[in-house]
Structure 1
Amino acid sequence: MTDKRQAFVALVTCFNDDETINYAATRVQVRRQVAAGNNIMCAGTNGDFSALTFEEKVRLCGEVVDEVAGRARVIVNAGMPATFETVKLAREFDRLGVDGIAVITPFFIACTQDGLERHFTTVADAVETPIYLYDIPARTQNHIEPETARRLAAHGNIAGIKDSGGAQDTLEAYMEVGRSVAGFDVYSGPDQLVHWALTNGAKGCISGLGNVMPDVLARIVSCVNAGDEEGAARAQETYAAFRADLYKLGYPPALVKRALYLRDPSVGLSRQPALLPDPEQDRAIEAILSRYGL
């Protein structure tokens, strides 16, 4: 495993007009990210995972792995509310040969820390592929406390955590776990913290915004790896400013998808009941895209 920092893009899932998955268009997005130098996270928050069926997730993951063909790393999200289905999905992804399986905290079901520990341990016991914890409390209402992460880090098949909580102190606490437990890598989710996280101990980042700005994301990481802090800071400034402008318009994953759609309609719309086309909002997104030369 390389010691260099790594960028993953939480890849959008492309849809046809009838809301079926457009696998060919999704493969195009995979090629675009690989060409930029980014790795792929499949079926994450920006990939509409909660709107996909079990069978669709399995096929989608297989198509992504096939398209990547070893040129980049692939992590796929298997997390579902119940441990039972999460294990079933993880076993399918294990068979497909991904590099890692992310497990988002259960949603809808309120969990104790003990419940979360049992959930992640059961999944990690069931597969050979390394498991990555995925914390995004704003969406799931469940949060992995740093001490819970520390206990889970001792499991031989739990390889790290993706932190999408947005709280810098929590990210710092996770990175402290990473520093003290060998083989436990921390990946930052918040787009505004990419540069800070990479220079303070994170192994990498997993970004939704990279769907729209793949080259800027890749530049932050490549500059950090090259020791070019000034270049990384400039790229981060652009990335964070674009994030602030775009996300103030509404729900981030739907806005990422819409911004991409306005430049490439083959990605399709989000599955309902997510964002519907809105001419006024589209004009605002267009103005932002133009301002950043996209």
Structure 2
Amino acid sequence: MSRNAHVALVTCFNEDETINYEATRAQVRRQVAAGNDLMVCGTNGDFSALTHEEKIRLTREVMEEVGGKVKVIANVGCPSTFETLQLAKAVDDMGLHGIAVITPYFIACTQDGLIRHFTTIADAVKTPIYLYDIPARTQNHIEPATAKVLAQHPNIAGIKDSGGSTETVLEYLAVAKEVGNFEVYCAPDHLVLWGLEQGCAGVVSGLGNVAPELLAQIIKGFNEGDMDAAKAAQENFAGLRVDLYALGFPPALVKRALFMNDSSVGLSRQPALLPDAAQDAKIVEILKKRDLLK
């Protein structure tokens, strides 16, 4: 089975904090050119700062720009099942590869609550559903036993694991092996190659915004059995991650590193971090060191 990488696409903003759809489309073209699939309205896409209508329009614009050339997954997860359902239905006919549903946030959920939440969405749409687990941000975690129950739903296709725990990824993979027809996507960028080697269907990467070709090289090397090339690209990619994320909050650093090469991506909506001259100088050095500065 050929593995793939979805880049969690950044959302570009104008100076007045409205979405810059044209600049976002340019980022889509850049990723398509590298051969990467996409995830829209994810953590690196500032989804929690977008309005309901913006998420729908953003997904539509990305799908128009992609024109069927790569696979696109859209995250529609909201704190309530009610709004998540509205969003899922709104994007259901857009031709998406999948609809990702991040666990509810702010509302503390039981495992039964999570099963009800995901089942309600999966029952209501035709597009395959991907569970999205990122407990550090949402405070809700999909236990492997819960994933096993949900994996048996005919319209739940897999899970995106952004927890960063290799143990959890392996537990989800055990579920996939037992149930069948359930894909596990690994998210932390230092685990791209490791995840593929363990049997993950693919990866979802935030850092791929900064280095799309490098991410594509890991996937290509793995798919073609050229493990030396895959390992070299992974080492470079992981090194970039360590250097960049040492400076602060990962999605903010991804956006800022991208800004250094293309100011059209803009800043994130407030109260996100404002630019810092000393930090910017460090980002430039990191990009220079790895030949990523235009």
Q: Could you say whether these structures have the same fold, taking a TM-score greater than 0.5 normalized by the shorter chain as the test?
A: yes
Provide the TM-score with structure 2 as the length reference.
0.99
Letter in 1 for 2:112: D
Distance 2:112 2:63 in 1: 34
Q: Which residue of 2 aligns with 1:72?
A: 70
Q: Which residue of 2 aligns with 1:250?
A: 248
Q: Which residue of 1 aligns with 2:9?
A: 11
Distance 1:121 1:188 in 2: 22
Letter in 2 for 1:217: L
What is the RMSD of the two structures over their aligned residues, measured on CA atoms? Answer: 0.6
1:183 is displaced (CA, Å) by: 1.3
Q: Which residue of 2 aligns with 1:186?
A: 184
Provide the TM-score with structure 1 as the length reference.
0.99
Letter in 2 for 1:259: A
1:96 is displaced (CA, Å) by: 1.7
Letter in 1 for 2:14: N
Instruction: Determine which of 104, 120, 123 is the counterpart of 1:122.
Output: 120
Letter in 2 for 1:169: E
Matched, 1:286 2:288: no
Matched, 1:92 2:84: no
Letter in 1 for 2:104: P
SS at match of 2:267: coil
- Identical counterparts, % of pairs: 65
SS at match of 1:149: helix
Letter in 2 for 1:211: N
Deviates more, 1:6-15 or 1:179-188: 179-188
Distance 2:230 2:7 in 1: 17
1:177 is displaced (CA, Å) by: 1.2
Matched, 1:226 2:224: yes
Q: Which residue of 2 aligns with 1:103?
A: 101
Distance 1:272 1:178 in 2: 39
Distance 1:247 1:48 in 2: 17
Instruction: Determine which of 41, 48, 51 is the counterpart of 1:50.
Output: 48
Letter in 2 for 1:273: P
Identify unmatched segments of 5+ residues in structure 2: none
Instruction: Show CA shifts across 1:217-255 (max 9, x none).
Output: 000001100011111111110010100100011110011
User: What is the total number of aligned residue pairs between the two structures?
Assistant: 292
1:95 is displaced (CA, Å) by: 2.1
The answer (yes or no) to whether the contact 1:179–1:201 under 8 Å persists in 2 is no
Letter in 2 for 1:151: V
Matches within 5 A, 1:190-209: 190-209=188-207
Q: Which residue of 2 aligns with 1:161?
A: 159
SS at match of 1:122: helix
1:199 is displaced (CA, Å) by: 1.0
SS at match of 2:92: helix
SS at match of 1:95: coil
Distance 1:253 1:204 in 2: 20
